[in-house]
Chains A and B, each alone.
Chain A
Amino acid sequence: DTGVSQNPRHKITKRGQNVTFRCDPISEHNRLYWYRQTLGQGPEFLTYFQNEAQLEKSRLLSDRFSAERPKGSFSTLEIQRTEQGDSAMYLCAVLDRENTEAFFGQGTRLTVV
């Protein structure tokens, strides 16, 4: 089962506040990815984990962003001092057991006002 649950589904926050999103894969997956999607664009890679190790971070991931996967299962993405430009859909994805296909969660829609 390659289901991925993301919470919350929607988040509205005031500029300058911190927010945290959570990604829960239903079963064990070695690799977990975070992407960001803005209106009219395809998703863009942010970072990924191999088990609990964060292997790569995109230049899109400024110092205000931090991601963790402490036990190699669920993952969190935190944004500090949010800006209006952070408004986007944040997507989590895992690879299937053969590491050939990526399956996405429903995403967290962030709106910074």
Chain B
Amino acid sequence: TQLLEQSPQFLSIQEGENLTVYCNSSSVFSSLQWYRQEPGEGPVLLVTVVTGGEVKKLKRLTFQFGDARKDSSLHITAAQPGDTGLYLCAGAGPTDYKLSFGAGTTVTVRA
């Protein structure tokens, strides 16, 4: 059972379009991390958000952490084929730092 719900499950868009991926939970996490994973590889950390209401930008990627620290979103502007991958959100426990992952959103950007 995944504690974090991600939506949509799949997203296919044309190069140059924008997209948003959502991550929601009924639990509060001390921090939330976003990863991107390519087939046959381990997840690669994109960003960590810690403070409620926090917004972080990483080039064309914008990450938001909800005020109550239960939900988050990832927005990609002008998507490129290189953005294709599985995007995972994960909430961290306060002391053990054990991660609880969502099931992921598979993003496909068509050239």
Contact = CB atoms under 8 A, between A and B. Distances in A.
Interface in B46-62: 48, 50
B43 interface: yes
B90 interface: yes
Chain A interface main SS type: strand
Contacts of B42: 4, 6, 91, 93, 104-107
A42 B31 contact: no
Interface in A13-57: 31, 33, 35, 40-45, 48, 55-56
B96 A56 contact: yes
Interface string B28-53: 00010101000011111100101000
Contact of B97 (A6, A31, A44, A109): A31
Contacts of A4: 42
A109 B33 contact: no
A101 B98 CA distance: 11
Contact of B48 (A45, A56, A93, A101): A101
A69 to B, nearest CB: 16
B98 A104 contact: no
A43 B31 contact: no
Contacts of A88: none
A81 B101 CA distance: 28
Interface in A64-108: 91, 93, 95, 99-107
Interface in B72-111: 88, 90, 92, 96-104
Given A43-B101, A107-B41, A107-B42, A101 B33 contact: yes
Contacts of A6: 42
A55 B100 CA distance: 17
A43 B99 CA distance: 9
Contacts of A99: 97
Interface of B: 2, 4, 31, 33, 35, 40-45, 48, 50, 88, 90, 92, 96-104
